[in-house]
Amino acid sequence: MKRWWFKHPKGNAAEPSRAPTPVGFLLPLPSESLLCADHRKKLLERIWQYTALSESQFDELYLDPIRRYASYVQQLPASESHHHAYPGGMLDHGLELVACSLKLRQSYLLPSGAAPEDQAAQADAWSAAIAYGALLHDIGKIAVDLQVEYQNGEVWHPWHGPLNQHYRFRYVAGRDYQLHGAATGLLYTQILAPRLLDWLSHYPVLWSHLLFLLANHYEHAGTLGELVLQADRVSTAQNIGANPTKALQTPKHSLQHHLLMGLRHLIKNELKLNQPGAAGWLTKDHLWLVSKTSTDKLRAYLLAQAVDGIPSSNIALFDELQSHGLVDTTPEGKAVWSATVADDDWQHRFTFLRLQPSLVWANEPRPDCFSGTVEPMMDGPLMTSEINEPVTDQPQTASEEKQQAPEQLSQDFDYLDDLMDMLQVPAELETGSNTGPLESAAAQPQDGVGLAFLEWLRDGIHTRRLVVNDSKAKVHTVDGTFFLVTPGIFQRYAAEHLEQPDGADQKEPWRRIQRHFEKLGIHQKRANGQNIWTCAVRGPRKTSVLNGYLLLGAAELTSEHPVDNPYLALIR
């Protein structure tokens, strides 16, 4: 079965006839035209495969909201200078989140703790709710972070309906970086049709979790919120060149902690201050750090400390520092300041990151303040697009800056190849046809075995029915994730769930469960490709070893970051 997104449009058939687009403006395109880009076709195909729905069901439950979403976000970026910071980045990020969240959803039986027949009956509704939450994750940005205007100067707001004239955009100066999460409530009823909301509202637990998520209360959104946040970390990390697998394992507040600790270390131990050739100047009210020098050193220091998830470009790292509130924002809403340093006869212009000194020294004694002056230089008005702009220690003057319309920017989508590999549909789910949807995983007994074991494991840890890190426990915490002792953990599950006739071979049940656990693909493999890891156990009187599986991320079993068992050490 072929879909329209597999076909290349002939000529400009997918686009409306148009007059020449004014310089600096974009033409609003129909959703089909926006979604027919090759990389978006691949994402749509992957989303369809994960849903395991017929073509008509997929059209109604997924493609219709995605089309509506595309008609609103058009070619707007997902951020100013961080992830997906290019025209069309918002649409790409939304599709990636849907695909990632549905991939992660395969490891969960929802609602958690419900009877198997109820989980089966609600499976499609939970999958759709997760996808909707992922798709709408950042849509509030087009309402409060961006100013969009038509050629006649009229300001467009998304509650007016989709864009219908040539438009241009710029980021709002001094915007509140937390506001877009709350603004989602303005828009989701324009993306999700009433019949979809009617359907989801029939399931009270699902409905409450979805409403909390759309109101930016992820702490009350349960597994649904966890999956969307995990998918967001994967999509963001992949786009900025970080490690998406590690991003799944990292607590969401840890990057802020690492950035702050790294800045404090560099400022106190490595960077010279208040002298020609220095990397920073401390005044009474502010600490000014030369932008490129300080971020290069910060990245190198954090990588040396084995910290993962550090953006590979300075522009993305500037945005991370700004979004975490570690650097001051310019009047134009940016992280990088331009300022002139002067001391007697010496004067030089730099680009800076500006910090509050209390972030670094708190109540500790500070170095002497700079005896000269640091004078910021205000930039001119924002142009149509100022994303992906170069930042150097010798910035161009306003007259030298090149203005670039959004449609002229290019984007390398090579990162999507790795993302698609990460989102690969397990081979055992495929029907053999590369043109139709996949059969439901729930309808295939071999997949249900692995998922049922995982749900039992997750519930056992949550209710403390399964002891963790005890001397005889079959579950331990090592290297920030869970270590499942084999064969003990599988034997216990088999003993609790499988009845064997008298005289039957008692080895086969747990081996079958173990095989289907492996097919879930949620465990780490060793460098030599083997599945089983060994841990050394060091007690007060003796030393022994345990063999088992090491999960890719603790989030598969709990949203809390586990504390490692001090008596176990992984043998690599």
Element holding 547 (H helix, E strand): strand 543-550
Interacting residues of 37 by C-beta distance below 8 A, sequence separation 6+ = 88
Distance CA 570, CA 141 (A): 44
The pLDDT, as a whole number, for residue 12 is 39
Choose among 269, 275, 382: nearest CA to 334: 382
CA distance between the termini of the chain: 47
Contact in structure between 322 and 311 (CB atoms under 8 Å): no
Residue with tokens 């095989």: 515
Choose among 532, 541, 544: nearest CA to 568: 544
Rama region for 218: left / alpha / beta (φ>0; ψ in -120 to 50; rest): alpha
199 to each of 122, 128, 196, 202, 481, how far by Cα in Å? 11, 10, 5, 6, 37
The pLDDT, as a whole number, for residue 174 is 75
CB atoms closer than 10 angstroms to residue 496: 9
222 to each of 166, 205, 211, 529, how far by Cα in Å? 41, 9, 11, 34
460-510 pLDDT, tens digit per residue, is 888 778 888 887 889 999 988 899 999 899 988 888 876 544 444 444 678
CB atoms closer than 10 angstroms to residue 392: 12
466 to each of 455, 461, 500, how far by Cα in Å? 12, 5, 23
267 to each of 68, 198, 328, 532, how far by Cα in Å? 48, 56, 17, 44
The pLDDT, as a whole number, for residue 556 is 67
CB atoms closer than 10 angstroms to residue 277: 6
Choose among 328, 313, 308: nearest CA to 258: 308
Q: For the domain covering 33-145+180-240+410-423, report its CATH number.
A: 1.10.3210.40
Pairing relationship of beta strands 475-478 and 481-485 according to DSSP bridges: antiparallel
Total residues belonging to the chain: 572
Low-confidence ranges of the chain (pLDDT < 50): 1-2, 6-17, 250-253, 379-410, 426-446, 500-507
The token duo for 397 is 């003057």
The pLDDT, as a whole number, for residue 58 is 93
Distance CA 50, CA 425 (A): 7
Domain 33-145+180-240+410-423 and domain 445-571 have a common topology: no
Q: For the domain covering 445-571, report its CATH number.
A: 2.40.10.200
- Chain-centroid distance of CA 65 in Å reads 21
pTM of structure: 0.54
Q: For the chain, what are the domain ranges?
A: 33-145+180-240+410-423, 254-401, 445-571
The pLDDT, as a whole number, for residue 429 is 37
| Amino acid present at 317 | L
Three-state helix/strand/coil letters over 72-129: HHCCCCCCCCCCCCCCCHHHHHHHHHHHHHHHHHCCCCCCCCCCHHHHHHHHHHHHHH
The pLDDT, as a whole number, for residue 495 is 84
Distance CA 122, CA 126 (A): 6
The pLDDT, as a whole number, for residue 130 is 95
| Amino acid present at 494 | A
The pLDDT, as a whole number, for residue 567 is 86
Strands (E), 325-473: 336-343, 346-355, 373-376
**CA 26-27-30 angle, 5° bins:** 135
Distance CA 389, CA 382 (A): 12
- Read out DSSP for 180-218? HHHHGGGTHHHHS-HHHHHHHTTSHHHHHHHHHHHTT-G
Element holding 258 (H helix, E strand): helix 254-269
